[in-house]
A and B are shown apart, each in its own frame.
Chain A
């Protein structure tokens, strides 16, 4: 008799302590986003990290934004821009905007932000990105000029990413970076409430946001490192949004009735690098082209990724603003064999090593194993080495990988961000280089201010690199998000997860 009452009491206790159900959150217009890691800091333009910046973007605004459909830069805190001369850009700033602490947003905020990120004492990652900017001039309260040390048409692209989140100058001066890193202040659609380390970040709606208040009254980011626990949280209704639902789990999510899968073609690309930076079979362009003919990319997409990837045929993908179409390498084992023969290589005696990370990109390890299996059909022996992420990066940097490695890159929204770091031997993560023609063409292209001229130069580069076959060109990822049924939100190709764009519909 006593035991049953005890049991009842216990269940009641547990029920009381149970998490707020999804229906309650729909009524109060709260959204919970499940992320795999917590932010590394609350101060903008300090640390480059997707997870950190995704959360910071709710508190801070960028100087320019990107249009979700065309992915081209568009006004945000800056309403317009123009080129004054080869080394000067001028931005017109939005009026009537205030920071969360009441400070007005003016050109001084822009200057203070640039000064902060360039100051070596602050050790920000962004100093390197803005190296070409010599100074920021305040023309008047709502006009600001960026002076560069040479023509830099890519400046606009940089300014329209999270590489310039505007900081509050007065608060920065009075409180200092350390305090702001714990209690951030910005101009964004949400205000900081609390950050329980390793557990959650809670933000509330900023009613005075210049674009109009958000639909969501409260946004909570919960940090759940274990993927299956994140899935469980989505399926049980504890979280409303989750990134990177694997292709095979799509059905399970849809069947749960509590969430749907929303996908978008991402700007992030995956590729199989064919390393020509050290002696080996990959130094022969014919072998590299043969590899492109030997790997059946369509089969990989269909069988391993369940159709969730968009094939690309050159170094840039359509989501990239500097994209120009190039011819695809068709899957053609006969042609591959012929090319191998021409290069004097016998595939049945060929033994290659493929380095891959695990869990960093969708099904990266499985794709690598599948590629090995495909190459096996031609008799090529491939040894797949799975690396822990840090080791993978180390190996690439030290040129200690095998003949090939799998990697992703993104968001790859503009040409300079892809060409410069990946196709020059002096760069950390490049797998291909020592081609003087390519080096020179890249150096020239990034300086062309005239749009048409630049487009032509980039198109030429893409064709050249396609022929050089530095990679087996794979695909643009599809980003699959699990979204609760009562939340209306569409994912973006530039991977911006912005709850300002989300609407809650009561069921």
Chain B
């Protein structure tokens, strides 16, 4: 394993551990407001990373934010992989008009920048955690569909698959036993690369005002709020931003390593 892979795995593990153990590591409740102690700088007693404008401990909020980030990332990845994967399988397998329609819809979506699409959806369905996952998923399933379809198309041509089909093996069985195992690595690779993209996208959408709302500690909305305090309390932007960047970094590197081991020809 190369250096970058080790760094990737390490960072990702660190984030997962932080998220899981947040309640124990955090010095105090991330939701508890204490006005008298607002905007304390890092290093203040009891608040190693400082406090925010309502006196809530920043370290606690960053750690709990890790939970939310992983949750959002995982949910969106699962939903998009499932939806996109299934649709891609169907489109690749059943090559008639459903496939064409699907790919046209995919084109339509791709003709629109990801962020704008997610934002538009949020402007309609409203704010909040559930809706963010919804909009990110709606904007992100396309990549899976395309990749999976491509894989399915190429796998279908392979000798043993054709042989099995000629022997009368039913479609579902073909799908499960032959196609799916070949497609799985691609899905995993794309998922890991998209994970960090989704987390950053959520942050961007919250930044623009459409995302997860307070008092839930999410890095994106924490960064959005920190704008107002940029010249007074730099730590409110620095630490969530660093956490976000490091998480994205770790997951990205992990994804790269997975790609290198599982499926090097996939240059997504």
Contacts and interface: CB of A to CB of B under 8 A. Distances in A.
A and B, direct touch (CB closer than 8 Å): yes
Given A248-B53, A366-B53, A384-B215, A231 B231 contact: yes
B231 A387 contact: no
Given A248-B39, A248-B53, A227 B215 contact: no
Interface string B30-59: 000101101100000000000001100000
Contacts, number: 60
A228 B227 contact: yes
Interface string A241-264: 000001011011000000000000
Contacts of B210: 388
Given A246-B229, A303-B38, 6 more contacts: A228-B230, A232-B231, A248-B53, A249-B232, A358-B213, A388-B127
Contacts of A387: 127
Contact of A252 (B38, B214, B227, B232): B232
Interface string B1-43: 0000000000000000000000000000000010110110000
Interface string B200-216: 00000000011001110
Nearest to A386: B213
A226 B213 CA distance: 19
A303 B53 CA distance: 10
Contacts of B213: 358, 385-386
Interface in B125-163: 126-127
Contacts of B35: 299, 303-304, 370
B206 to A, nearest CB: 11
A369 interface: yes
23 contacts: A226-B227, A227-B227, A228-B231, A231-B230, A231-B231, A246-B228, A248-B39, A249-B229, A249-B231, A249-B232, A251-B232, A252-B231, A303-B36, A304-B35, A358-B209, A363-B53, A365-B214, A370-B33, A370-B35, A373-B33, A384-B214, A388-B127, A391-B126
A235 interface: yes
Contact of B54 (A251, A370, A386): A370
Interface of A: 226-228, 231-232, 235, 246, 248-249, 251-252, 299, 303-304, 358-359, 363, 365-366, 369-370, 373, 384-388, 391
Contacts of A358: 209, 213
Interface in B200-247: 209-210, 213-215, 227-233
Contact of A369 (B127, B214, B230): B214
Contacts of A249: 228-229, 231-232
A249 B227 CA distance: 11
B60 to A, nearest CB: 16
Given A226-B227, A369-B214, A386 B127 contact: yes
Contacts of B33: 369-370, 373
Contacts of A365: 214
A227 B228 contact: yes
Contacts of B228: 227-228, 246, 249
B132 to A, nearest CB: 13
Contacts of A391: 126-127
B157 to A, nearest CB: 50
A235 B54 contact: no
Contacts of B126: 391
A276 B54 CA distance: 30
A226 B209 CA distance: 12
Contacts of B39: 248
A299 B55 CA distance: 14
